[in-house]
Every structure is written in C-alpha cells, then in structure tokens.
A and B are shown apart, each in its own frame.
Chain A
Amino acid sequence: MSTSRVPRTPVRSAPAPAPVQGRERRVARTRPGKRAAQQWAAWAFLAPVVVYLLIFYAYPLYRNVELSLRNYTVRSFVQGDAPFAGVANYAKVFADATFAPALWHTIVFTLVSLAFQFVIGLALAVFFSRNFRLSATLRALFLVPWLLPLIVSASTWSWMLNSESGVVNTALSWVGVGPVNWLTSPDWSLWSVIIANIWIGIPFNLVVLYSGLQAIPSAVYEAAALDGAGAWQRFWRVTFPLLRPVSAITVLLGLVYTLKVFDIIWIMTKGGPSDASTTLATWSYRLGFGNMLPSFGPGAAVGNLLILMALAFGLVYIRVQRRQAAA
C-alpha cells in the first residue's frame, strides 16, 4: 500500500530463490569465515548509527533522568554538584496545582484533535478517491498545512483569531455571534490551539487514509454495488471495515505525535491565560526554560512522564503494525 512496501514484497519473496540458492551453495563451502566477514562488514556499516544513538539519544535521555532526580539550578548545572533529590521532583510535580489541569488539557487536546483530524481526513480521503479532474493537484495542495513550519501556522492562526482584528471574529459577526476572545479568554484558549492543531493534522490523516483506500480492490465495491448497496452503505459495510488496519495505525501514530505537540500551543498562548491551555509538554518547557529561574528538575520530571505516555501508545502502535505485517 505504501510506496515503500510495493517494491519490497516481490523482490524479497518471489524472484529471490535463484540468487539465494547460489549464495547458500557458496556459503556452505566456506561457511564460518565468510559469515563472520559479512557480520563484520554489516556492523561496520551500522557503527555510525549505533554511536550516534548512544551519544545523541541515549545520553541526553540519561541526562534527562538524572536531571529529574537532582536539585539543579543554573549554577549547579555548570559546577555539576547538584544534590541528589531522589523522587522529590516527581512528588513536587504531582502535588503541583498545575498537574491535574495540565494532564486534563493534554487528554482533551489529544483526543479532540485526533477525532476531528481523523473524521475530516477520512471524509476527504473518500472524496479524493473519486479521482476527478485536478484531484491529484488539489490533494497535493492539501499537504501545505502539514509542510509549513509550525511557527508559521501558529502565528498565522494567532492573527486570524485576534479578538479585535481577527478574520475569524469578522466572519462570526456576519452570523451575529459576538467577538470571541479566542486567545485571551480561559474558556477559549484551549479550543483555539485545538483548532489550529486539527488544521495542521488533517493532511497527514488524508494522505495515509487515501493510500489505504487505494489498496482496497475496486472489485469489492463493484460487488457491493451489484448487490444494491448505496454509497452510504458501501462506506459503512465495505470501506470502513477494510480500512480498519490503516485507521488503527493512523490514529495510534497520531496519538504519539499529538501528545508531544508543543510549538503550536507555546507560540499561540504560551499555555495561558493562567494555565488554561497548558499541557504536559508546555508545562515541562515552562518549568525548564520559560522562567528567569529555571526549575530543571521538575521540568525533566514532567518530561519523563510524557515519555512514558508516548511510549505506552508507541508500543501499542508497533504491536498493531507488526501484527498487520505478519497477517
């Protein structure tokens, strides 16, 4: 279904027998030496990425855990003599008045964003699979929001949602709805960042679901049409069930990505006003970098909680995907 998969399945399974046999015959003759040599070569080519992962992934993550277990200030950062604090930072985070709202906003932000992105993305994917004139071009244009730097999208939405001069409030005034303080009212700021995030996430859902739709054989639809199924029935009886595997992957991956959204919220509202749009990601950032007096320990602790959440869903995603690949 994906372009990455199309070439590999036939190459790996179907026409492979001839060369594979040839190689195995040769390997059989000089087995241990050749094998060892190939393993050496294989790992020599992997060496850069392994070193890279150790230095630039494992080490920062280790430092992050360490940060969360010590009492760091800017000074002890440089001197490296921060006292060990155990789980005190975590306790502090859980007891903080911001914790419950931040967790709740993270959940609302993620679930509402995902629901709308998926439904709109799916509707558009079904629409575009009709392959009308210009459909390919228009589908490509739909990618634009996903490709723009987040700061560009976020600042554009900020101005569109401006209370006095924003184009959104202008449009609302036509239907008699009074000006909404999108970014400055605690009742609306979370919804503002959700709206912007939905807009950014639609293209991803559209593209992935569209490629899933392409994989459904048209014969299935023809059979359903012959049986007298209408468009609505065809969608619920054929498209939706057959698209379930791709849908599961889209949603799970969306979950992992949405949990960590930081840029849009920070740029549009900084998590405010008064924490009304603070999520775990923006809270972590604010603790570590947002103030004149950084509290790296609690910031890192919040970050590590976020990692655990992302990994939990990430592992589910990998499981689902593996099961599908095996099926």
Chain B
Amino acid sequence: MKTKLIGLGILAVVIIAAVVYVCIGRSRTVTEINGYVGGEKIGLLEDEEVQDILRDRYKLAIDYAKAGSIDMITADATGRDFLFPSNQTALELYEQINGKPVKSEIILNTPIVLYTRSAVAQALVSEGIASEAEDVYYVDMEKLTEAIESGKTWSDIGLPQLYGSITVGTTDPTKSNSGNMFAGLLANTLCGGVANESNLPEILPRLQSIFQKLGYMESSSADLFDQFLKTGMGAKPLIAGYENQLLEFAVENPETWEQVKGDIVLLYPTPTVWSSHVYIALDEAGTAGIDALLDQDIQRLAWEKHGFRTGVYDTPTDAAHFGVPGLAEEITQVAPMPDADTMDKIIEAL
C-alpha cells in the first residue's frame, strides 16, 4: 500500500509538472479572446484550418458564445472582447447605445435567400411566384407577399399534404439577424422601395400581421436551417436563411448532400439584401480578431468551405466546386436595408 502511495505521489508530481508546463507555455504564446457570435458563423470559427492560421500567424484563439445578432447588442457584454453580428444595423444599434466601438469592420458577406423543397418550388413556379432562369430560381417578393397576406393555403397552390397557410419560416426578427433582415426585405416589398420612417406607419400593421401568423419563431438561423433539413418538407416548407448556410452544408456533408440535393432548392428573392457580417471589437484584445479574420487565406477558406462571399471573392469564378445546383454566380438584384432607426421601429413593433 505504501509503495503504491509513493508511486501515486510521483505520478502526481509528474502530472503537475506537465500541467504547469502546458499552461505556462500556452499562455505566453496564444491569447484567447471571447465574444458573442451569430450561429451561422460557428462553422467557420470551428474550422481547424482557420484555427491553425489564427494560432500560428496571429497567436490567437477565438472562443465564443452563440447569440442572435440583435440579442447580443443588448446582452451583458462583461468579459467579452468582441461581438460578431450578421448585419450593419446591429453595429448602428450598438453605436446608438454605447457610442463608437474600439474598432469595427465588415468581414464577410452573404445574401438572404429562401430555401424550399422541389415540390414546393414547382408549385411556386406554376403560381408565377417563382421563376427559373439559367438554372437559378428567383422568387418575386411582391407576389409572394401577396400570397401570404391573402391567407392562401398550401393546398390552394396544389400541396394538400401541407397543413396551414403559406408562410415563410424565419427566425425571430427581434432576436436574430436572418429574421430581422427578412423583415427589412418584407418592409421594402410592402412599400415598393426602401422602407423609411415616412412610409413605415402605413406598412407596419401589415408587417405585424404577417409575422403574427408565424407564432413561435426560432432564435437562431443555424437552428432553423438544421430543422429545415431534418424535419422535412412538412414542418418547414419554406424558410429564409443565408446563402452560405447551404454552401457550407454541402461542403461539410458531401455524402448527405449527394442524397438530398435533388430535393432542396435555393431561391433568390428579387431583390434581396446583403447580410454583412461585421466584427465589433469591444476592447484592445478584441481588435486583433479583425486583422486575423481578414487574412487572405481565412477569407479564401470562408468562401471555399463556408460559402461566405468575401471582399476578395464576391464575384467567385469557382462556384462549381460546391456542387450546389442553382447557385447564382453574381448577386445583382440587391436593395439596401432600411436604416437603423427604421429597423429599430420595426423590431419594436414585432
């Protein structure tokens, strides 16, 4: 027993020595920063190649907690070094509450798109709500909004297997970015231009009734997309999301993608809006994240593996490698989002 104890004692000393070595070694070389990140960028931050570049070139490790883009602005940011929401409105809101941040920069871009199943896409095409040109599907926002507002049911457009009326599943616009941007897009559609404070009073009640129909909404774009894929056509016939979500999924799950790609359809709203993922540094440590994430190789990985259109890659020539049918080469039909004050009023009303 005694020798056993001594043996264990020695083992303990060795372990302690090892722990000390590793801890001291690491803390000298790599700084860990921590912040709130929208769910759709987690794949990029968890990418080992990205983590290696951050560590080797920038001596940086990025830890995060998942939060919606709007939620994170109002959440308690004590102990956080940065916020990484998915639109510029979030930055404007941040500035209204807290003043100018230490530093901020757009890191990635991706357009808002709709996802659906082929049966639904076909029904939308025959209704004249969607159309196909050069293998890319576009959805006429005005006609879609009309169908939603008039209370048309899925069975009205030839889909009796779906229960209820036509809606677009989105995340909660008061909490998460994709839902928020889709609300902006709908507001633009309803006023036939870009929504602003003068035309807002007229369209707000209509916008409210569209969103009220949705009932409970997810708070994260990633969760909504995951559910779209897993719960099947019945549960989420049509959702709003980011273009990069499907591209990333196709790269990360090539086998699954091969099995499901015949059924999943990407629809580009005309016009759409850009989701610009802006990095907001809250302290000096946080600013290091900006330079690191703008690294050319990280930007390349962001496109190739995660589907974000970046500064360098916004007119990609190598879209074919995703194997995603109907991926638009260029996003040309883009409208600006309503300004922050208008969006603020929209959020408040919803």
Instruction: Tell me whether A and B are bound partners.
Output: no
